[in-house]
Structure 1
Amino acid sequence: MPYYVAFDIGHKPRGNIDDNYTELRELLDKNEFECHKFFETSITRESLEPYDILVFACPDFAKITRQEILEIEAWVQNDGGGLLLLSHAGGDKGRSSNLSELSELFGIKFENDQVLDEESNIGLENMPIIENFNPPHPITSGVDSICYRAGCSLTVISNAFAIVSSNETSEPFSTPLICVSEPEKGRIVCDGSYEMFRDRIGGGLQYESHSKLAVNMFEWLISDYRMEKRDQDLLPVPEEGKEASEMEEVQARGSSLDVKSKTQSTENFNISLDISNKSELMTLLNQFLSQINTMKNTIESIIYTFSKSDEISEGNLKSNKENSTTEKSSVSDITKEIEETKKETHRSKKKKPEGEQEELTTSPPKLEEESAEETEEEIIEEEELDLEERREELEAEVEKLERKVKSIVNLLGFLEKKYNSGKMNEKSYKKQSKKLHKDLDKIKRRIEKISNALNQ
């Protein structure tokens, strides 16, 4: 009896079962799973009913709506759905997505970083070899090691736990990489590296134990509740032909938009959509509006940054190009470069470096993506804040930062205990302690700046 897996394609996933996840699809087909491309104008609990597992394979510049998040939550908790969330280096910030808004409902958060390891890797520091599987879990049963290729770290907030963590030599060290949660009737897996299951790349699905890990992961995601209902034939199955018709709808929409962008015509054009009621139409229009607003805010932030100076220096352009293409750069390095670029007087118009990588497979998030986020921080630090509009947002940020301070202090205590007990050498202790203190100082300065602004 097959179990049905829905691979979301409505939020521009980087992992696609017709492209770079074909080997994963074949593997699942051989293990009694039936994979489907899943597209809905707006995901609902009802539309998920025929599926046992829903996969978000790293949404790229697309966000799940609040209503969709609530519908997915209800499907997991009440219908025993299995949810697999896969991210990438840079997390939500790097991909302009919002997986954490969904995962946080189940006690897990994707961090906006990249896991590196100079000592234990398969050739590059952003392809660390991980063997830290604690506590034992069905997902890691029979798995000796994994390659956590171009992935971000995770944080456990509540009612969840890590089953795979980074090495002591990693950066960040001993931090969650794969986490699980069992809310009510359903099951959740969060993994910061979608590239672990990609076709024909180093550290992808062909790496040692990755096939075993993938099968274990999907088998565990079938909840006891769901398994019992399937055995009793009490659940529907995906409709024949539905997938194809919806794909045609997506292609038609994309084709119409593509023609519009190429011709730059001001004439009206028609997009043929199969809308059955007013509610579906309003939902679709709201999604379009949300994407337009996101683009508008990003453009305004970039305009603000560069309006303070006429041109960009050739030296900074060269430096930015080196940072965006190097395979051994880190998120913090790129952030630092952006901040330095903003502070200097610019002398030449910025051009996109030729051959700049389009996707991040062996390096941190794109410079442009970091720039938009850094611009927001600069506005907070240097401009008078509109507290009426942003007070709640800033207060929430302070709360999150204060929780991070507590976590870092606890980690420092943990490090000291390990060092004093002889379980950690002096070199590792000093390196990791220095990094934590640096992060702690940075967070405290940020809290102080926001607090001062709020108290004005």
Structure 2
Amino acid sequence: SQVSEEFGIIFDNTAVKDERSNAGLPTMPIITDIIAHPVTEDVDDLLVPSACSLRIEGKAKALAVTSEMAEPTKVPVIAVVEVGKGRIMCVGSYEVFRRGGGFKHKGNKILATNAFRWLSGNSQMTKPSSVVKAQEKKARAKADSGEKISAEFEKTLKRLVNAVFDLQKDISKVKKQVGSVESNIELLRDQFQDFAEKTQQQLGVMIPSKQFKTSEEHKTADIEADIKGLMSEIKSVDQLKDHVEQRHSSGAMPKETYSEQVEKLDARLMSLEKKLAKKQQELAELT
């Protein structure tokens, strides 16, 4: 490392791991982020067992970089530098070219051939390799797809927020209808209670005088159910707001869309909290 550091390549005291892309163990990562260079010509991926990461400075260039899921993330494991007529290549693992290690991997064999040709000065890539072309095409397709998915996601999120408010309007209508039904039930309860008491007095027949909850008990249960529903709804809106915040923080949501959604959600939260406070006050007065 002391020698390579003079040329802008530093070996870090790390252990590269990749839980997702590996050859059976996290410490045997498969590197697919390959940079175009004569050394990596026609190299699709590399097996880099027991590797450490590299840091590069000055004219040094990274040739192979760990994935976003790896640890450490997006760091070089292979780098090169040209100094005058000299050429230097550094690899974060001595296992790459070992016969019982990484050399069993097809990409490693191609890399070895390219590396020795380049280091000896007998290699110069005159045109992009088929692998590099495929990688560039894949990257462009991924970027286009990402933009399309992001736009669709924003539309879906807007529809979801609007659906929440539409649902609340429908719930309010249903509550009014249910309230009317409950009033009729309460009237029937009072009539039955009156009938039971008169029958007991006139005929001496024992009919339970309390077939339903009292008006106060019924109202208390209703208010408690309303409070539970409001708290659940507040939690749902809070979760939706957190998701919008995360999307904005990650840069995936435009500021204009973010401001519009947050304004709607804040207004909804304020309305729900007022209703909750009112119901809690009603419950306190009953108890």
- TM class, shorter-chain normalised? 0.3 to 0.5
Higher gyration radius (CA): 2
The structure showing larger relative contact order (alpha-carbon pairs under 8 Å, at least 6 residues apart) is: 1
